[in-house]
Structure 1
Amino acid sequence: MNPDLPRRRFTGGDLNGVLGLVVDNLSILAFLATALVGLFGVPADIVFRRMFPGTALGVLLGNLAYTWMAHRLATRTGRDTVTAMPLGLDAPTSIGMALLVLGPAFAGYRQAGMDATAAGEATWRLGMASLVVMGVLKVVLSFFGGWVQRSVPRAGLLGSIAGIALMLMGFLPLVEIMRVPVVGFAGLGIVLYALVAKRRLPFGLPGVLGAFLVGVLLYYGLGPAGLLGTGYHAPGPWQWRFGIPWPTLHFVDGLAATVPYLPLILPFGLLMVVGGINVTESARAAGDDYRTRDILLVEALATLVAGFCGGVAQTTPYIGQPAYKAMGARLGYTLVTGLVIGLGGVLGYLSNLVEWLPVAVLAPILIFVSIGITTQAFEATPVRYAGAVVFSFFPAIARMLAIKLGDPSIVEPARFAALYADGVHGVSAMAVISILGNGFIITSMVWASFVVAMIDGHVRKAAGIVALGGALTAFGVIHSVDPIGTVYLPWMLDAGARAMVWQFVAAYAALAAVLLMLSLTPRRR
């Protein structure tokens, strides 16, 4: 074996890898903080001192483990071209946790009469418990990844996550960009130029870094002069917000609060298992043969430990391992990224970076990721299933509308409740939007799966999937008639809510019956 092999595992390409991976994680943390602190009013100290340290610890541990796995693979194969698997916070589910679980929960606690600090603490415990639930699920499923991948059609898996990416990770950050359009649109243009059009920036500058630098220069160059209007906010003083992510049992207090959110939390974990399988195959195709179970198990344990230590956002292996390999990254970039993010959560400098970097600067990166995820849903799925992928987007669109319409700054709560209950001709439009969006990830999987079954000619299987959808509807796992999406026992609801439940259950039953009758006819294209 070459004695110089370990020294050559750190290359100049690792610098590009660090820039890309750190900025990716930083942008997700920034959006998480902006959503919780800026949109919902969660106290900043709880976000930065309680949630960030444990969340960052998961990134640190996962990247250290992946670095060691790459070192082991390089030693075993005698190659100095092995690239570590990149790991970071998962963008769609992290944003989904902020907008669909933590933020609404905090608003509910406040409406129940809690003060901001108590509501923030309860929200933090809910986030911890949610992460522990996802971590346990992923640990179990890491041993059954192949079965999971075979059971749910790729159109359903990729379509559901693409819906999250397109609506929550693409459209909502685009709205934030257009709040400060001079800054955000310029950065978005550079991201599209370098990463979508694949054009070279001057001096070979990486696209993410180029967009980042231009955004910062515009924001701090034009903002103090008053040229950005109300879009500029001067940064506050530097603060050392120390937070040690000690293991704690506070998550136990939040377990009961996770029940209404299980239709979101469990699919979030499931998607990461399937995503981990896909990225391992991608790395294998690029020449680095990692064991799928090891990749999944390490990531699951990183999420679980983060939850025990106060984290609220799950980690995931990133799909871009071949891209990092092409830019010359080896082992150093994951090691350095883990240390930068992990120590930043403990020492508190991540919170300062998040506060000093506006969403308009970081959002273009999220939009690019959303474009990539949505594009992959079509590229990785056979063309004949494209209609199923598109059909799976509709519940996510409904969820995005429900988020906006449920924002008290847009529609007053009393007005929302009146519109929800005002069903002149059946169920009101507001109720339909809310009900269609509740449990949207599982709904997307069900809808895409039965369309795929029909395309393949398995009409009876499609009927069975639709019947399963009806059973899930009866208990509020999907199409919950509660505006906040809680699950329930239908016979415990009041008469009006129970009537709405049975209408949607009957809709699935009718469709299942129609499909069963169609399955008796001769098969024709």
Structure 2
Amino acid sequence: MSLVTFGWNQNSQLGHGDSEIRVSPCSVDTLESSPILQIVCGSRYTVALSRQGNVFSWGRGDDFQLGHIKGTSLSSVPRMIKSLEQVKVVAIAARGAHTLALTGDGKVFSWGRNDEGQLGLGTRDPCRTPTEIAWFRDNGVCVKKIACGRVHSAAISLGGDLYTWGCNDEGSTGHQTSESQVVPGEVLGLAKVEQVACGSRHTLVLVCRERQMSWVDPSILNTENALYAFGWGMYGQLGVGDRRNRSAPSQVVFSRDALPTTDKVRISSIACGYRHSLAILSPCQGQSDTFTDDDDEIPFNTLWAWGWNRYGQLGLSEKLASSCCETPMLVSLPHSAVTVAGGGRHTVAVLQRSSDSAKRMYSWGRNDDGQCGIGFASPEQREPIRVRSSGDDVQAVAAGWSHSAALLEIPLEAFDETLNRDLENVPGGMGRSPSTPFFSAIRRPSELAPTSTFRKVYLRASSRLSEIMTYGNLDAGFAQFLNTLILLLNILASLRMRVGLPQNTVIGLVVPGACLTVFVSNIVFGVWADMKSSPATTFTALPHGINTVIFFAYTMLIMTPVYEKTGDAQLAYRTGLVSCFLLGVLELPCLFLVTMMRKLIPRAAMMSAMAGVSITFIAMTFTVQIFSNPAVGIIPLVVVLVCYGSNVQLPYKIPAGLMALMLGALIIWGAKMLDIDLMVGTVAPPSAVDLNASGKKFLFLPTTSLPEVIQGLLDPRTWSYITVVIPMLIVNMVTNLSCIEGSAVHGEAYDTKKALAMDALITIFGSLVGNPYPTCIYIGHGAFKSMGATSGYSYISAVSVLLLGITNGASGVMQFVPEVAGVGILMWIGIVVTAQAFDRDDDYTEEASSSKSHAAAVALGLLPALAAWCLQYLQATIPACSAVISNSTVSPHHIPFDQVMKRLEANGIFVFGLISLSRGYLLSSIFLSSMLVEIVDRQFKNAAMWMLLAASLSFVGAVHSFELDGQGINSNYGFPSRTLGEFPLKYCFAYLGSAFVLILFEIRENDTSIKRMLQRCKKRISRTFQDSDLKKTRYRPSRSIDREDFDERKPLRSDRGPSYAT
């Protein structure tokens, strides 16, 4: 059998030799020579059992849960556990950070984390290698089944007795005591136990009825066996009708309302997730009339789920879905359930199809790391969906906290034939999904037997076109195109009004050059995505082009000041070209610092910087534009939210973005026919001026600007205005790194150095064809991925933008279609990217004793971007008011910008703080968020280092430095930077003082750690005598453990997340 894994892989728990996330099943090649019999998943590691009885493990091993003698902290590929070679292992179990193994002669071995006695060895010390649980041997108990919870364990003896041990805080072991059990103890009141399953802190037990009841409640199903639950019940995971904890077994019943049948049923399988539970019910022999699947003889097994449902892990329909279900609910499935596994917040199941008895894999629930294996990452998948690359026969599935595994009977290469058969079985032909071809009339290559070279080329081209022209690619391509269209309109307006460039230069040189740059970048990154894709995994191209934030920075901070001080528009444009060229050149040597930057900057800080730009310059900018013109903008926005927010499909294959534009155009033109002006307060678009200025010329082909760049490099006046290039380079690097990190979060790891090298070369190329704006990787990869886009959207955008640039199409399009009708897509992208920054941090659950959520750090990192966005509006407002007041009919005076700012500060509006926080806002976001991440993780020394970095950046004016004059705000750099009010020096002092305070906390933390270590040594010495007596005495449930021992358990320390979570 072939083993495939998918999902989160930060700790190499997928076994592929790397830490790249997989959003589709990928074969574990190193185990091809060892047929796998069983697969289980811990929180951040995986264990497999071969047919020969050998045990393999890989992933995170900082608590010795891998069982290896050497190299215990991490294993990126499966490694055999050598100490188990001499015994015949027949079953394994894992959860949290400990592992159990069952041998053929009924012995149980355990290893890993043991702070609650979950290994059953009589102590609380972790165990590096598999060690037999001597209690079973000493008491003559032969074990036939085992199960692991997060910090407790269970076993069933040959006689059907249930034994549990470990943490019992909420009654998860079923013993009538609140103390942890360090050795196995029998759970009284249960006999003839058939199966046991353990969740995070609750347990399910399946028991054979000793005698059948003569009377059955007509409201519940008549089951041949009985299901009991005990332990943690806060989320309804016990299924007993309330959310109270149970320390004694309580029966779980199944409602007849969901499955109206009088036949007797049997509970054939049970499973537990982190906070949810699952059970499969089968018809008893000879009573399968109601349970059969129509014309098929295969009995239809039903799946029931209950407990926590925040991310849809119960698989219930929207009508039945709620945050928690306190009783079992029937899951609607297309086929008969065979087996099921519960993960941290997701579920994986094997279903048997009635038509050909093929066993398929389905999944649902949390999918932020691709743990559902459906080809892309998304916040949640509420209803069961087919894991497409799963083969004909799936024998077993397993689920960890955020990764999954499955055993297949066919190799991964044989999936294509299965997929084709699946498509043929869809009623009405090919179903509508993000990957469905828009032109469904395009036939498959297999349907047209090629007889000539021309026909082969035609078929290949048709096949490739169908891959590109899918719904997901059209939606994402349209969003990318619209973003570029809006950017071009800003270029048309800004370069004319703020830089003073003549119309023919903007339309004939700048716009074609910018469009050619975007065309090349989209093609390059699209091809790169194709090269990384495979039949099993499809990559989404990184969105790349001219960044809106960089566009405003280069226009407002470089070209506009040059034009205002010299009045030479050509010099301003030339300075922009040279600055763009130099940024690309300087980016190349920075490639060698990338690896260090990614290691030092926490992921939460990267995601926070990206989210800050998304929620402000993308989402908020377009939101206010929509609400400025509600009659035209809100209705198309609702269409976008419905289609993307709930995956509603429009009729006639119409992409959501196109429908939004069509609605906006219909509204605006309908209003014009009725002589109603809906676009109140907007200025006339520049399109009419553009078209008139272009004369009869139709094509505007790009031309070289190399002479302009050379002239600018030789002109000493140019160099005095490009001091802003270095900060812009840092901003560009941080933006690129954040976006690359964002793509890795969604399962697509692109090589950082290659990405930055291509970005630098494209920036240099753009400066040589008339484009004064650097390129960078866009925010939005995760949103495009969730749309189902691949590399095709990048090609669609490339061709559309090139045609737009060389025909001056931006002006023509906006004469007929209102811009506000289409910006809802961009607003949605900004919202999704922001939400994903917080979703990612949810992996660090409250279950971990020491690792807390980094959501607060993400929120802190948003504040500098918010300040920059507010300042942008303030900067635009004051000149506008000044222009009105200085009108000759009102007053002949011009209001200086700096005087207004000082007056606002004097009146308690604190604009100086707003300006300071906005200067170098991406850098401020990084070091503030990183500092809080380290504080949350109690790494005060690392937090102090971030404050020292902040002090250095403040000292030279890279952040918080500004000068005011009558025209606006200027940057000021120096060593040190001296500005109005000495703000850089003040910030430097504040950050140095903060670093000193954090160092004091670090010293205090180490001092406390030393005291705790001495206390543990003292307790360990006094506990030695208790341990020796405990091993000689059979455990009785009534016996308690010293409460001090219970309180002395050491919480796990982690740098970025919990060592166990499920």
Residues 516 and 702, structure 2, Cα contact 8 Å, conserved in 1: no
SS of 1:393 mapped into structure 2: helix
After the TM superposition, which residues 59-138 of structure 1 pair with which residues of structure 2 at under 5 Å, given as runs? 59-69=518-528, 79=535, 85=541, 87-89=543-545, 94-112=547-565, 114=567, 118-119=568-569, 121-138=570-587
**Offset of 1:282 from its aligned partner?**
4.1
Which residue does the alignment assign to 2:481?
26
User: 2:830 aligned to 370, 389, 404, which one?
Assistant: 370
Which residue does the alignment assign to 2:901?
420
Residues 33 and 47, structure 1, Cα contact 8 Å, conserved in 2: no
Residues 532 and 539, structure 2, Cα contact 8 Å, conserved in 1: no
User: 2:840 aligned to 354, 358, 380, which one?
Assistant: 380
User: 2:777 aligned to 285, 306, 316, which one?
Assistant: 316
User: 1:55 aligned to 497, 502, 514, which one?
Assistant: 514
SS of 2:706 mapped into structure 1: coil
Residues 745 and 840, structure 2, Cα contact 8 Å, conserved in 1: no
Go from structure 1 to structure 2 and tell me whether the alpha carbon gap of 1:381 and 1:142 turns closer, same or farther (over 3 Å shift). Answer: farther
Partners of 2:565 and 2:581 lie apart in 1 by 26
Residues 83 and 325, structure 1, Cα contact 8 Å, conserved in 2: no
Residues 282 and 319, structure 1, Cα contact 8 Å, conserved in 2: no
Residues 261 and 485, structure 1, Cα contact 8 Å, conserved in 2: no
SS of 2:777 mapped into structure 1: strand
Partners of 2:870 and 2:784 lie apart in 1 by 35
**Structure-2-length-normalised TM-score:** 0.43
Residue 841 of structure 2 corresponds to residue 360 of structure 1: no
Residue 469 of structure 2 corresponds to residue 14 of structure 1: yes
Which residue does the alignment assign to 1:266?
730
After the TM superposition, which residues 242-253 of structure 1 pair with which residues of structure 2 at under 5 Å, given as runs? 242-251=700-709, 253=712
Which residue does the alignment assign to 2:249?
none
SS of 2:822 mapped into structure 1: helix
Residue 711 of structure 2 corresponds to residue 226 of structure 1: no
Comparing 26-35 with 440-449, which one deviates more in the overlay? 26-35
**Offset of 1:389 from its aligned partner?**
0.9
Partners of 2:946 and 2:792 lie apart in 1 by 46
After the TM superposition, which residues 103-502 of structure 1 pair with which residues of structure 2 at under 5 Å, given as runs? 103-112=556-565, 114=567, 118-119=568-569, 121-142=570-591, 145-223=594-672, 225-228=675-678, 229-231=680-682, 233=684, 236=688, 237=691, 239=694, 240=698, 242-251=700-709, 253=712, 256-260=720-724, 262-276=726-740, 278-279=742-743, 282=746, 284=748, 293-311=753-771, 312-316=773-777, 320=781, 327=788, 333-353=793-813, 357-382=817-842, 384-407=853-876, 408-410=878-880, 412=882, 414=895, 416-421=897-902, 429-483=910-964, 484-489=969-974, 493=978, 497=980, 499-502=982-985
Partners of 2:955 and 2:761 lie apart in 1 by 34
User: 1:507 aligned to 987, 990, 1007, which one?
Assistant: 990
Comparing 168-177 with 298-307, which one deviates more in the overlay? 298-307
Unpaired segments of 5 or more residues in structure 1? none
Partners of 2:604 and 2:960 lie apart in 1 by 21
Deviations 1:470-511 (A, max 9, x none): 1111221000132435232255746xx263332222221221
Deviations 1:249-293 (A, max 9, x none): 5346255523135324421233214423543674648xxxx7665
User: 1:521 aligned to 972, 988, 1004, which one?
Assistant: 1004
SS of 1:11 mapped into structure 2: helix
Count of matched residue pairs: 508
**Offset of 1:68 from its aligned partner?**
4.2
Comparing 97-106 with 162-171, which one deviates more in the overlay? 97-106
What amino acid maps onto 2:512 in structure 1?
A: P
Higher relative contact order (CA 8 A, sep 6+): 1
Go from structure 1 to structure 2 and tell me whether the alpha carbon gap of 1:158 and 1:72 turns closer, same or farther (over 3 Å shift). Answer: closer
Go from structure 1 to structure 2 and tell me whether the alpha carbon gap of 1:148 and 1:266 turns closer, same or farther (over 3 Å shift). Answer: same
Sequence identity, in percent?
19
**Offset of 1:469 from its aligned partner?**
0.7
What amino acid maps onto 1:135 in structure 2?
A: G
What amino acid maps onto 1:500 in structure 2?
A: F
**Offset of 1:418 from its aligned partner?**
1.8
Go from structure 1 to structure 2 and tell me whether the alpha carbon gap of 1:426 and 1:251 turns closer, same or farther (over 3 Å shift). Answer: farther
SS of 2:854 mapped into structure 1: helix
SS of 1:461 mapped into structure 2: helix
Comparing 129-138 with 468-477, which one deviates more in the overlay? 129-138
Go from structure 1 to structure 2 and tell me whether the alpha carbon gap of 1:47 and 1:313 turns closer, same or farther (over 3 Å shift). Answer: farther
**Offset of 1:439 from its aligned partner?**
0.9
Comparing 47-56 with 311-320, which one deviates more in the overlay? 311-320
Residues 242 and 348, structure 1, Cα contact 8 Å, conserved in 2: yes
Residues 173 and 366, structure 1, Cα contact 8 Å, conserved in 2: yes
Which residue does the alignment assign to 2:144?
none
Go from structure 1 to structure 2 and tell me whether the alpha carbon gap of 1:376 and 1:217 turns closer, same or farther (over 3 Å shift). Answer: same
Go from structure 1 to structure 2 and tell me whether the alpha carbon gap of 1:51 and 1:19 turns closer, same or farther (over 3 Å shift). Answer: farther
Which residue does the alignment assign to 2:178?
none
Go from structure 1 to structure 2 and tell me whether the alpha carbon gap of 1:438 and 1:27 turns closer, same or farther (over 3 Å shift). Answer: same
Q: Rg bigger for which structure?
A: 2
What amino acid maps onto 2:764 in structure 1?
A: L
Note the aligned Cα RMSD (angstroms).
3.7
**Offset of 1:203 from its aligned partner?**
3.1
Partners of 1:342 and 1:62 lie apart in 2 by 11
SS of 1:89 mapped into structure 2: strand
Deviations 1:393-434 (A, max 9, x none): 111121122212222345538354124345988998222211
Partners of 2:472 and 2:538 lie apart in 1 by 14
**Offset of 1:145 from its aligned partner?**
4.3
Residues 21 and 88, structure 1, Cα contact 8 Å, conserved in 2: no
**Offset of 1:55 from its aligned partner?**
2.0
Partners of 2:706 and 2:816 lie apart in 1 by 30
Partners of 1:81 and 1:448 lie apart in 2 by 33
Unpaired segments of 5 or more residues in structure 2? 1-412, 414-445, 447-455, 713-717, 845-852, 883-893, 1009-1050, 1052-1062
Partners of 2:857 and 2:490 lie apart in 1 by 31
Structure with the higher fraction of residues in helix conformation: 1
Comparing 416-425 with 365-374, which one deviates more in the overlay? 416-425
Partners of 2:549 and 2:482 lie apart in 1 by 15
What amino acid maps onto 2:828 in structure 1?
A: F
Deviations 1:149-169 (A, max 9, x none): 222112222211211121111
What amino acid maps onto 1:446 in structure 2?
A: F
Comparing 273-282 with 47-56, which one deviates more in the overlay? 273-282
**Offset of 1:175 from its aligned partner?**
2.1
Go from structure 1 to structure 2 and tell me whether the alpha carbon gap of 1:8 and 1:444 turns closer, same or farther (over 3 Å shift). Answer: same
Structure with the higher fraction of residues in strand conformation: 2
